[in-house]
Amino acid sequence: MLEQRSDVIVIGGGHAGIEAAMAAAKLGCRTLLMCMNLDTIGQMSCNPAIGGPAKSQLVKEIDALGGVMGLCADATYLQLKTLNLSKGPAVHALRAQSDKTAYRDFARTLVETEPNLKLRQTMAVKLHTADGQIVSVEDNLGIEYPCGAVILANGTFLNGRLFIGEKTVAGGRAGEAAATGITADLVAAGMTTGRLKTGTPPRLDGRSIDFSGLDIHPGDPVPSFFSFLPDRPVLEQVPCHMTRTTAKTHEIIRNNLHRSPMFSGLIEGEGPRYCPSIEDKVVRFADRPSHHLFIEPEGRNSYEMYLQGFSSSLPIDVQMAMLATLPGLEKVEMIRPACAVEYDYFPAYQLHPSLMTKALAGVFCAGQINGTSGYEEAAAQGLMAGINAARFLARQAPFVLPRESSYIGTMIDDLVTKEILEPYRMLTSRSEYRLLLRQDNADARLTPLGHQIGLVDEFRWQVFQAKQAAVQTEFARLKTTKLDPNEANAVLAQADSSPLSEKTSLFELLRRPEIGYDTLARLDATSAALNLDNRPLTLFCETEIKYEGYIKRQQQAVGKLADAHKIAIPAGFDYKGLKQLSNESREKLDKLRPTTLAQAMRINGVTPADASILQVVLSR
């Protein structure tokens, strides 16, 4: 039985699938989103939060390009908090504690109301190909769906297995079946697969928690937002709380490690290094007497709580014993146990930078199937896969962001040029140019590109242009407004700043580390009004001025790298025949197949000397 032909089929309704389907549909493709359960579109399977270090940059970049994750987070937050404010602006990061039910409903509404986008509740089990290109998808009922491109956004469902202590069952997440069939088709096409592991903490009954002695963590008094669009909703914020493990907690864990599938050998896949289970923390950091845990609400109308930092695969009786040792949780009731899930993934060096597989034309991969962890990483890949699937069908050049342009570009470049042996998480340290890639300037960097490819609509484009004009107007005002020493020195003294000896512009004053718009507000009425009414604008201008020298140095470094990006490597380049290279370099280059000299230079095992030889050969 054949269904009506689609241009693009997206398999999976998680954060990657949503962005992929929305992008392809907005770019004019007849798009079909296939999901095993339509009620779980936009499901927050693990932590009910969006953003955080490096992840907020991803969300802001998704929004700047015309994606939807920022809109969903802004519409459904329980709490908004900017992290790392005591550090430099390169690592400032917005984090939203989300109402996971409201988030899911908001995302579902966006998907359902998008023209060109249809939904189908079914399980995809087979990819049909001809001459190395996708032609259709078959579901578990034997129905065939013809298409021109497929985006695999399967999350943790490919041959997924759930683990709670000695118990193991097939499943992609608690209460949901695993997906089968797709792995075998990709392996048959010549792709290599592996197994990874992730986990989730228990969910607790908030009515059984004694919050009276716990540290309270509120949101920001004046919230910031993920989307660059105006008029974001201002909602009542809900606090989080903090508890910690104790010596007794650690004792129980150590005494029961033999019952953990991670340590007993039942789980073979590698887990996330930067988000380890509580038993892994206790073993790896044996010298630490305690670990912080955050109690986070999961919904505005729910008493269910998420215990961040307490991921585990230990048996339920051990989990209950551990929980009872935590301050405030002595009488806690567990609603859902912690569990681990192991699943198939396909190392992303088997993809082009467009996220299309090298083995099958028209097949794109996004999210955890590529070896990443996190909603934000998945959504960013989904957006890029959706854009490039549409461009593939239109016979247009792929839309690829270089790593120096964005965190999205950095992540994808890492994925396609490095061998991922554990779940990949975006970190600010992964970017060499993080001062250029701040969360506050994502629209300046990427919205023009989003408009150029057709994903940023005219309303958003007008909003962007108005903001850029306001920035230039403010820079001009700061440079031309000068203060007399007699007017300024008393205020400067209060700010522990050296006095003026001559008239000085507000622009020059802002260069001083100790001077911000809060000080300018006491010296200048226009600055005071702006600082009150348009804090994002003043923060942006202040950062650009204070870090102007550092920013120029990073821009110069990017300029030097641009030459290496211009040197393309032919698709069938014979690395093995290049005897001047070391054996390791030849092996790595032949396996990962970089597309430019810049990519080749970043591959682990390719020495600077080998990169120089390759440059000479390519230049010839």
> What tokens were used for 414?
């890492």
Q: Using a pLDDT cut of 90, give the percent of the chain over it.
A: 76
C-alpha distances (whole Å) from 16 to each of 2, 12, 75, 87, 425 are 26, 8, 19, 31, 15
Q: Are strands 144-152 and 292-297 parallel, antiparallel or unpaired?
A: unpaired
Q: Using a pLDDT cut of 70, give the percent of the chain over it.
A: 100
- Averaged over 127-148, what is the pLDDT? 96
Residue pLDDT, tens place only, 358-386: 999 999 999 999 999 999 999 999 999 99
Q: Is the pLDDT of residue 585 over 90?
A: no
Predicted local distance difference test score (pLDDT) of residue 202: 96
- Terminal-residue alpha carbon distance, the chain: 54
Q: What is the three-state SS of 181-224?
A: CHHHHHHHCCCCCEEEEEEECCEEEHHHCCCCCCEEECCCCCCC
Q: Which amino acid is at 471?
A: V
Run of H or E residues at 529: helix 525-533
- What percent of the chain is helix, strand and coil (3-state, nearest 5)? 40, 20, 40
Predicted local distance difference test score (pLDDT) of residue 455: 98
Q: Is the pLDDT of residue 125 over 80?
A: yes
- Averaged over 166-194, what is the pLDDT? 91
Please answer whether residues 565 and 409 qualify as being in contact, where contact means their C-beta atoms are separated by less than 8 angstroms. Answer: no
Q: Which amino acid is at 59?
A: V
Q: Is the pLDDT of residue 271 over 80?
A: no
Q: Is the pLDDT of residue 566 over 90?
A: no
Predicted local distance difference test score (pLDDT) of residue 607: 78
- Averaged over 55-82, what is the pLDDT? 98
Q: Which residue has the tokens 């955050």?
A: 294
Average confidence score pLDDT of the chain:
93
Q: Which of 129-138, 260-269, 549-558 has the lowest mean pLDDT?
A: 260-269
Instruction: Return all residues near 36 (Cβ < 8 A) that are at least 6 apart.
Output: 121, 122, 123, 157, 172, 176, 177, 179
Q: Which residue has the tokens 């020298």?
A: 549
Q: Which of 41-50, 122-131, 525-534 has the lowest mean pLDDT?
A: 525-534
Q: Is the pLDDT of residue 329 over 90?
A: yes
Give the domain 458-550 fold: Arc Repressor Mutant, subunit A (1.10.10)
Predicted local distance difference test score (pLDDT) of residue 276: 85
Predicted local distance difference test score (pLDDT) of residue 195: 94
| DSSP conformational letter for 326 | S
Q: Which residue has the tokens 């961040």?
A: 308
> What tokens were used for 61?
């970049």
pLDDT interval class at 602 (50, 70, 90):
confident
Q: Is the pLDDT of residue 611 over 90?
A: no
- Averaged over 201-211, what is the pLDDT? 97
Instruction: Return all residues near 12 (Cβ < 8 A) that are at least 6 apart.
Output: 34, 35, 152, 153, 154, 155, 157, 367
Q: Is the pLDDT of residue 266 over 90?
A: no
Predicted local distance difference test score (pLDDT) of residue 9: 98
Q: Is the pLDDT of residue 392 over 90?
A: yes
**What are the residue ranges spanned by the domains of the chain?**
458-550, 567-619
Q: Is the pLDDT of residue 613 over 90?
A: no
Say how many residues make up the chain.
620
pLDDT interval class at 1 (50, 70, 90):
low
Is the torsion defined by CA of 533, 536, 541, 546 positive or negative?
A: positive
Residue pLDDT, tens place only, 415-454: 999 888 889 999 998 988 889 999 999 999 999 999 999 9
> What tokens were used for 187?
């392996």
In CATH, what class is 567-619?
A: mainly alpha
Residue pLDDT, tens place only, 220-244: 999 999 999 999 999 999 999 999 9
- Averaged over 271-295, what is the pLDDT? 89
Residue pLDDT, tens place only, 453-462: 999 999 999 9
pLDDT interval class at 387 (50, 70, 90):
very high
* Rounded Cα gap, residues 264 and 300, in angstroms: 39
Sequential DSSP letters for 36-60? S-GGGTT---S-SEEE-TTHHHHHH
Label residue 373 exposed, middle or buried (CB < 10 Å: 0-12, 13-18, 19+): buried
C-alpha distances (whole Å) from 160 to each of 2, 157, 169, 357, 377 are 28, 5, 9, 22, 20
Name residue 77's beta-bridge partners.
Answer: 98
